Chain A
Amino acid sequence: GENVEQHPSTLSVQEGDSAVIKCTYSDSASNYFPWYKQELGKGPQLIIDIRSNVGEKKDQRIAVTLNKTAKHFSLHITETQPEDSAVYFCAASMAGGGSNYKLTFGKGTLLTVNP
């Protein structure tokens, strides 16, 4: 089955700096890679996703890059703000046939943005 490794487990940055979280996956058939953000006391929320037919996707201060050859993908947050502080989860699956059933999550990265 799929295995997703996520690094680092904790990340502390100064407000305004960039933050990068990296994930690797094992199943070359995986083609859907979402990122979820979980704030304290809340459930995870989708912030961005990417499919394997593109190498990069951006949404304002958030971007995700995908390297299918190396089987890794990364989340980039620029101009970090205190409200970006949360736990971030990457996930991987093969889209098709109910892909959410087969989502494999990483262990999460606790991002702290210091004012």
Chain B
Amino acid sequence: ETGVTQTPRHLVMGMTNKKSLKCEQHLGHNAMYWYKQSAKKPLELMFVYSLEERVENNSVPSRFSPECPNSSHLFLHLHTLQPEDSALYLCASSQEWGFWEPGELFFGEGSRLTVL
């Protein structure tokens, strides 16, 4: 148990569906992240929220829409996805202490998404 819980663990959706991934962290951290993990590719940062404010959006297509209602919860809303969006979506959290101190990333177990 890393203290970061993701649901659902598996999701199959058609290209016209709308679904959401949920992440909850029980660690009291002040930053949360969405990463995409595809086979034989590096982990790709999608979104970062620090103190509930989005600070990074790595040019992710608008069919992915994040939401961070509070410091413990993070959502990824999905609509009109493409088959190439099939991947493992990982949520992570960290405590960012200050300018020179990177916090350890704590990852959830991921949501395996298949787009048909």
Could you mark each residue 60-96 of chain B with 1 if its beta carbon is under 8 Å from any beta carbon of chain A, else 0? 0000000000000000000000000000001010101
A104 contacts which of B42, B102, B107 (Cβ < 8 Å)? B42
Are A45's CB and B107's CB within 8 A? yes
Find chain B residues with CB under 8 A from A4 CB.
42
Give the distance to chain A from B24, nearest Cβ to Cβ, in Å.
14
Q: Which of B42, B96, B110 contacts A100 (CB 8 A)?
A: B96
Q: Which of the 9-residue segments A13-21, A36-44, A54-62, A72-80 touches chain B? A: A36-44
Classify chain B's interface size: 20 to 34
Least CB distance, B32 to chain A, in whole angstroms = 11
Q: How many residues of A contact B (CB 8 A)?
A: 27
Bound together, the chains give a CA A4 to CA B31 distance in angstroms of 24
- B105 x A46 contact (CB < 8 A): yes
Counting CB contacts under 8 A, is A96 at the interface?
A: yes
| Residue among A45, A97, A100, A106 facing the most chain B CB atoms (10 A cut-off) | A100
Query: In the complex the two chains form, is B110's CB within 8 Å of A93's CB?
Result: no
Beta-carbon contact of A107 and B41 below 8 Å: yes
In angstroms, Cα B108 to Cα A44, docked, is 8
Instruction: Tell me the bound Cα distance from A108 to B39 in angstroms.
Output: 10
Q: Report which A residues bind B (CB closer than 8 A).
A: 4, 9, 32, 34, 36, 41-46, 49, 89, 93, 95-101, 103-108
A-B contact pairs, 9 of them (CB 8 A): A34-B104, A42-B107, A43-B2, A43-B92, A43-B108, A46-B105, A89-B42, A98-B50, A101-B55
